[in-house]
Structure 1
Amino acid sequence: MANTSAQTEQQIASLEKRSIVSSFLFKYPDIHSRAAEVALFHRSDKVRTYQHYLAPISGSIDRHTDASPLDAAWRELKEETSLTPDSAKLWRKGRPFTFQDYSVGREWTIYPFAFLLKLQTRTRRHTVDEECIAGDGETDGVVLDWEHSFHNWYDPDEVLSRLLEDGEEARVSGQKLVPRIADSLIQVYPEYELGPVAGRRLREGLQQLQDDHESGARELTTIALNIFRDVLNDVRPSDSDAVGTNWEEWWRKARLTAWHIWMNGRESMGAAIASALLTALAELEPLYRDLQPDGENVDRLIDALIEKRRAMTTALSQAFTVYVDDELWEYRDKTTLKIVSLSASSTIRESILQLLSALAEGRIHTVVAGGRIRTVELRVLESRPLFEGVSLASAIVSSYEKSRKDREHEVQLHVTIYTDASAALACTGVDMLLLGADRIAKDGAVSNKTGSLPAILAAKHVAPRSKVVVLSELDKVADPDYHPAVENSDVEEVMAAWRKTVREEALGVVEAGGGNVPGRGRVEVKNVYFEWVPPELIDAYITEEGIQGEENIRQRSQWIDKQIHRFFDDLTEASQSSMSCKY
């Protein structure tokens, strides 16, 4: 046994190591379709390996030029299909895996991705038994290079079923498929494992999270928990006395669902979603061990987590009020408290309303030579392109007016909305700049709405005594290895406002873009939602557990990392085992 093991290790060591991306292209036939189709590409006789096999779009990761596997995936997609972020979007990521193919002398590490065509096109869907023919994909906008002869569209469930039934001898449209394509496909298409009902519910839930650009991380996390609950109930064995193997499968599907909601829902806000789902898994685990995860128990557990999250917001708001009372003593020679903020954080909204209530009810000891704080002046940046700052200002004013009662001390609220470009004017003379957080890195850096960093830099210059305060639940702290891709959102959100004021001919030049034609100028519009604020610019982190230091944040990040490995590390192995049983 020892000799055999040593020989195997020597064989593996002799293999050429290659890291590649494996990108599946999906599309919806029309706006009403609930089922996606996947493209399989016929490799030409010009490629070095797996000639005439069906495959996804794949290629090697160049560690010198590709900043990440995702960058490599986009590069390969453009080279082999001409598709760009204008015509396709990143739909899903899968977990990477490694395997050896001794027939070609290589060890492959695969990074699976799924991209979705933005244009809904109705092309003929092939069955797995139809003969492979060229030409049917000409209306979908895909332009192939020399690496592929043609492509056709298939039902991904049919493809995976054929691969599971026939293993390495499987044929689709009479053609062989590249090795381990099933392992790659199932990583980005969990619907097959979950079944039609739960799979559709997860797909629609992921789309809901991806399309929601108005809710903050806290609201999206509640939505994610409800999606998780619904899928869990859909995959629960029908017999409450089901044998342990069925519950093993349920538990694996629960963890699989949680992983996809985290990574393939709204990844830029994934820190809060991951934290909530990991907490849910930790509390579900005893139910699974005792074979008691029935619908009522699951509902009760998720409801309790959602209620706990509401209580977290209340505790955080109270901690903010205490901070104002204890830490801003140097500003108590004035009767006006000046605060600037941006975007539409529900945490900031509730915290400001709690502060107003405490001031009006005399719960803050603000007596100074000039009297009590009688006015709160709130300055809000509009927060383009969706103007969430306007929503924040409106919500605070409406809620405050509704809650006003005969109190011992009346507090006036003055709200002013500023353009993003006038951040320096908005910050002049302020006492505090409030930021929410979509995620917090292990070193204390904060990712928040684009515009946060310029506002802070302006405040440091025009109001050097002001405090930069981050209001965030602890579950926004991300694991140490969490590096989500930059979220480039639809540029139409930016251009929509231009259409009302920019001259038509000028807008036409921007819309035309210019492309990469030699000798011509090129116009590109960016709509990046989030940016990072370094920790050295932040004066305080206020959470539901009070003021936190960078060490607390580091410890929370380590806990998240430990849970991620505990619940998710074996998912890839389990998927490969189920899909490779006949390979």
Structure 2
Amino acid sequence: MTGSLPQRISSTKPLQKKSVVSSFLFKLCDAKGHATKVALFRRSDKVHTYQLRSCLSLPSQLQDATPVEAAWRELQEETSLTPSTVKLWRKGRAFSFQDESVGREWTVYPFAFLLKPPSDRTEATHSAENCDSDEGDGITLDWEHDFYNWHDPEEVLSRLDEEGVDATMCGQKFVPRIADSLKNVYPEYKLGTTAGRRLREGLQQLQNDHESGARELATIALNILKDILLEIRPSKLRVERNEDKWNVWWRDVRLISWHIWKNGRESMGAAIGSALLSVLADLEQLYEERGCEDDVDRIVEYSIEKREAMTKRLCEAFDSYLREEEIGKAVTELRKTLRVMTLSASSTIRESILHFLRRDGCNSDVSFETLDVRILESRPLYEGVTLASTILSTLESVREDVTRPKVNVSLYTDSSAALAARDVDVLFIGADRIAGFDGAVSNKTGSLPAILAAKHISPQARILVVSELDKVAQAESIESHPEEDNDAEEVLRAWRVAGVKGADVIDSQLGDDGLAVKNVYFEWVPSALIDSYITDEGVMGVAGIRERSTWVKQQVHRFFDHL
């Protein structure tokens, strides 16, 4: 689907290293992703190489800042598709190979894009009966291709494996090395029908879940892995005569984990990745000992249980900090009200607040009379409203306890963050990712304005990040982490419900050149604005974050470098 490799040449010169992207276009045939199709494009007779050959994609030399930017550019140039009609579905593991006949050593970055149907740009679903049709796909081919059609990726890969370089589809040969790239973005093929389907459904579940926080998604990821491993057992594997079943199984387990980490919800990837790394460390011992296969389920389940204990430790650390630091300070200053501020509906923040309210000590050793909780609404999904309702529901069960402080809950619009921050004692946020390089925190958009407002309006306020340590990513700069720009429909829906004047005009022209509705979920808060990190291992500074990041990086290299 993109430009081709150079013509073959004879040369004795050292191989020249080149990086390329290889992109594939998929569509789902049902809402749960039970079936998929991949597009085959035929090269036109106007190109210099591989004329009239079928291709899922042809590599294009990397000229952009990042591989994914190059993939998006080529996709738009050659199909006219844009983010309003497709989304980046998966990233494959980069791989390299040498082709001495053209004097190159290629490093290939595979990507898979998912077509959105015109009837509903928010849900990528097609009916099974018309999934083979190209009607309504919105693809306009450039001069490099003359037509395309849809095929079962399992059938395509099966034919390539059986017939090799002589394989054809619709009477046309394939371009070279296409199977390697496709397998890198479509791991279902190797896993078999049941396990492959569960992986595909699991990835869709993680991608489409915009309600669960990073902590909850990490637990969901472990349950997905557990379901897949029920179908993947060393004794069930079909391997070559000279292959060890346990070695093949261990590679499959790590590859599945890599795809769940990278292709589930990458913006939440720190928590998901850490959870998977922890369970891989436990499964590694089983692999090395060639232990009992039935222990696989027990090991994964134990990892899930450990996560529950981790949350409890974090809640206790949060409770201790408030009582020792803030409540203690209130006693000294004879303050009668403790004012706290937060936003969104982080499950970590929610559980920490509820733990503090339920704790027996809260009704006896506190000196203040009122707990003033201020919550920003957190558009476009208004998660702050959900958090407020949860707190109020919990208060109903303890409202008759007269020894507890009175709790006032106030909701503020996002734009009134400065008003919410007046005289606040503590502002705390969760974390979807913590950059190991410098401790910067990625959290729900609105976090940075809220903190800046608090720093200006109430300079005495303490800024806290309340997060499990598994949110810490590798020691990379924040620029290396992807920005998640979500469906504009979430923003438009709120405008429609509110009857915003002019919303219909924006709605009708969305997708046209010169108009965009941005719905970026997360933004970065620099570590210089953060006073402390409250974690499941206690109160930390940036040094503790960097130490954890080093561990994560070591485990990533150990488990994923040699797949």
TM-score scaled by structure 1?
0.87
Change in 2 beyond 3 A, CA 1:124/1:471: closer
Change in 2 beyond 3 A, CA 1:534/1:560: same
Kept in 1: contact 2:439–2:545 (CA 8 A): yes
Q: Which residue of 2 aligns with 1:575?
A: none
List per-residue Cα deviations over 1:480-529 (Å, max 9, x = no partner): 2483421111111001111133456552245314723xxxxx32101000
Q: Bigger CA drift: 257-266 or 94-103?
A: 94-103
Change in 2 beyond 3 A, CA 1:258/1:389: same
Looking at structure 1, the residues matched to 105 and 352 of structure 2 have their Cα atoms a distance apart, in angstroms, of 54
Change in 2 beyond 3 A, CA 1:121/1:353: closer
Question: Displacement of 1:150 after TM fit?
Answer: 1.2
Candidates 390, 413, 416, aligned match of 2:410: 416
Q: Bigger CA drift: 501-510 or 266-275?
A: 501-510
Looking at structure 2, the residues matched to 495 and 315 of structure 1 have their Cα atoms a distance apart, in angstroms, of 40
Query: Residues 327-406 of structure 1: matches in 2 within 5 Å?
Result: 327-328=325-326, 329-332=328-331, 333=333, 334-358=335-359, 361-362=362-363, 364=365, 366=366, 372-403=367-398, 406=401
Task: Return the letter of the residue paired with 1:354.
Answer: H
Candidates 525, 528, 548, aligned match of 1:536: 528
Change in 2 beyond 3 A, CA 1:174/1:223: same
Question: Displacement of 1:238 after TM fit?
Answer: 4.9
Instruction: For residue 169 of structure 2, give the secondary structure of its aligned residue in structure 1.
Output: coil
Count of residue pairs the alignment pairs up: 537
Question: Displacement of 1:172 after TM fit?
Answer: 2.3
Looking at structure 2, the residues matched to 151 and 455 of structure 1 have their Cα atoms a distance apart, in angstroms, of 50
Looking at structure 1, the residues matched to 108 and 250 of structure 2 have their Cα atoms a distance apart, in angstroms, of 26
Looking at structure 2, the residues matched to 25 and 382 of structure 1 have their Cα atoms a distance apart, in angstroms, of 37
Task: Return the letter of the residue paired with 2:247.
Answer: E
Looking at structure 2, the residues matched to 207 and 231 of structure 1 have their Cα atoms a distance apart, in angstroms, of 14
Looking at structure 1, the residues matched to 318 and 134 of structure 2 have their Cα atoms a distance apart, in angstroms, of 58
1:548 and 2:547 aligned: no
Candidates 445, 448, 451, aligned match of 2:443: 448
Question: Displacement of 1:106 after TM fit?
Answer: 2.7
Instruction: For residue 14 of structure 1, give the secondary structure of its aligned residue in structure 2.
Output: coil
List per-residue Cα deviations over 1:45-85 (Å, max 9, x = no partner): 3333333222234453554xx23111111111110001111
List per-residue Cα deviations over 1:180-214 (Å, max 9, x = no partner): 11110001000001110000001001111111000
Query: Residues 507-518 of structure 1: matches in 2 within 5 Å?
Result: 507-513=504-510, 515-516=512-513
List per-residue Cα deviations over 1:121-179 (Å, max 9, x = no partner): 568778xxxxxxxxx64542211101112112111111111111222232222222222
Task: Return the letter of the residue paired with 1:206.
Answer: L
List per-residue Cα deviations over 1:403-427 (Å, max 9, x = no partner): 55747x3211110111111111111
Query: Residues 90-489 of structure 1: matches in 2 within 5 Å?
Result: 90-119=88-117, 120=125, 137=134, 139-238=136-235, 245-295=244-294, 297-328=295-326, 329-332=328-331, 333=333, 334-358=335-359, 361-362=362-363, 364=365, 366=366, 372-403=367-398, 406=401, 409-442=403-436, 443-481=438-476, 483-489=480-486
Change in 2 beyond 3 A, CA 1:570/1:220: same
Instruction: For residue 499 of structure 1, give the secondary structure of its aligned residue in structure 2.
Output: helix
Instruction: For residue 219 of structure 2, give the secondary structure of its aligned residue in structure 1.
Output: helix
Looking at structure 2, the residues matched to 231 and 11 of structure 1 have their Cα atoms a distance apart, in angstroms, of 47
Task: Return the letter of the residue paired with 1:102.
Answer: E
Change in 2 beyond 3 A, CA 1:196/1:392: same
Instruction: For residue 489 of structure 1, give the secondary structure of its aligned residue in structure 2.
Output: coil
Question: Displacement of 1:561 after TM fit?
Answer: 0.9
Kept in 2: contact 1:272–1:438 (CA 8 A): yes
Looking at structure 2, the residues matched to 325 and 567 of structure 1 have their Cα atoms a distance apart, in angstroms, of 41
Instruction: For residue 330 of structure 1, give the secondary structure of its aligned residue in structure 2.
Output: helix
Question: Displacement of 1:358 after TM fit?
Answer: 4.0
Kept in 1: contact 2:261–2:273 (CA 8 A): yes
Kept in 1: contact 2:11–2:103 (CA 8 A): no
Kept in 2: contact 1:121–1:140 (CA 8 A): no
List per-residue Cα deviations over 1:98-128 (Å, max 9, x = no partner): 11223333322111000111114568778xx
Q: Which residue of 1 aligns with 2:495?
A: 498
Change in 2 beyond 3 A, CA 1:236/1:78: same
Q: Which residue of 2 aligns with 1:48?
A: 48
Change in 2 beyond 3 A, CA 1:152/1:481: farther
Looking at structure 2, the residues matched to 359 and 340 of structure 1 have their Cα atoms a distance apart, in angstroms, of 23
Looking at structure 2, the residues matched to 20 and 239 of structure 1 have their Cα atoms a distance apart, in angstroms, of 37
Task: Return the letter of the residue paired with 2:373.
Answer: L
Looking at structure 1, the residues matched to 32 and 329 of structure 2 have their Cα atoms a distance apart, in angstroms, of 60
1:20 and 2:59 aligned: no
Task: Return the letter of the residue paired with 1:217.
Answer: A
Change in 2 beyond 3 A, CA 1:338/1:503: closer
Kept in 2: contact 1:125–1:155 (CA 8 A): no
Change in 2 beyond 3 A, CA 1:143/1:59: same
Kept in 1: contact 2:363–2:405 (CA 8 A): no
Kept in 2: contact 1:320–1:542 (CA 8 A): yes
Kept in 1: contact 2:79–2:139 (CA 8 A): yes
Task: Return the letter of the residue paired with 2:424.
Answer: V
Q: Which residue of 2 aligns with 1:3?
A: none
Task: Return the letter of the residue paired with 2:207.
Answer: Q
Looking at structure 2, the residues matched to 239 and 29 of structure 1 have their Cα atoms a distance apart, in angstroms, of 29
Change in 2 beyond 3 A, CA 1:313/1:157: same
Change in 2 beyond 3 A, CA 1:55/1:278: same
Kept in 1: contact 2:58–2:175 (CA 8 A): no
Question: Displacement of 1:21 after TM fit?
Answer: 1.1
Looking at structure 2, the residues matched to 157 and 471 of structure 1 have their Cα atoms a distance apart, in angstroms, of 45
Identical counterparts, % of pairs: 57
Looking at structure 1, the residues matched to 34 and 511 of structure 2 have their Cα atoms a distance apart, in angstroms, of 36
Change in 2 beyond 3 A, CA 1:32/1:201: closer
Change in 2 beyond 3 A, CA 1:38/1:293: farther
Structure 2 residue ranges without an equivalent (≥5): 1-9, 118-124
Change in 2 beyond 3 A, CA 1:395/1:117: same
Task: Return the letter of the residue paired with 1:315.
Answer: R
Question: Displacement of 1:278 after TM fit?
Answer: 0.5
Looking at structure 1, the residues matched to 341 and 555 of structure 2 have their Cα atoms a distance apart, in angstroms, of 37
Change in 2 beyond 3 A, CA 1:102/1:148: farther
Looking at structure 2, the residues matched to 108 and 79 of structure 1 have their Cα atoms a distance apart, in angstroms, of 23
Task: Return the letter of the residue paired with 1:320.
Answer: F
Change in 2 beyond 3 A, CA 1:59/1:327: same
CA RMSD of aligned residues (A): 2.4
List per-residue Cα deviations over 1:208-264 (Å, max 9, x = no partner): 111100011111111100000010111114569x99822222211111110011001
Structure 1 residue ranges without an equivalent (≥5): 1-9, 127-135, 367-371, 517-521, 572-583
Change in 2 beyond 3 A, CA 1:454/1:12: farther
Kept in 2: contact 1:90–1:114 (CA 8 A): yes
Looking at structure 2, the residues matched to 213 and 514 of structure 1 have their Cα atoms a distance apart, in angstroms, of 23
Kept in 2: contact 1:12–1:100 (CA 8 A): no
Q: Which residue of 1 aligns with 2:121?
A: none
Kept in 1: contact 2:428–2:463 (CA 8 A): yes
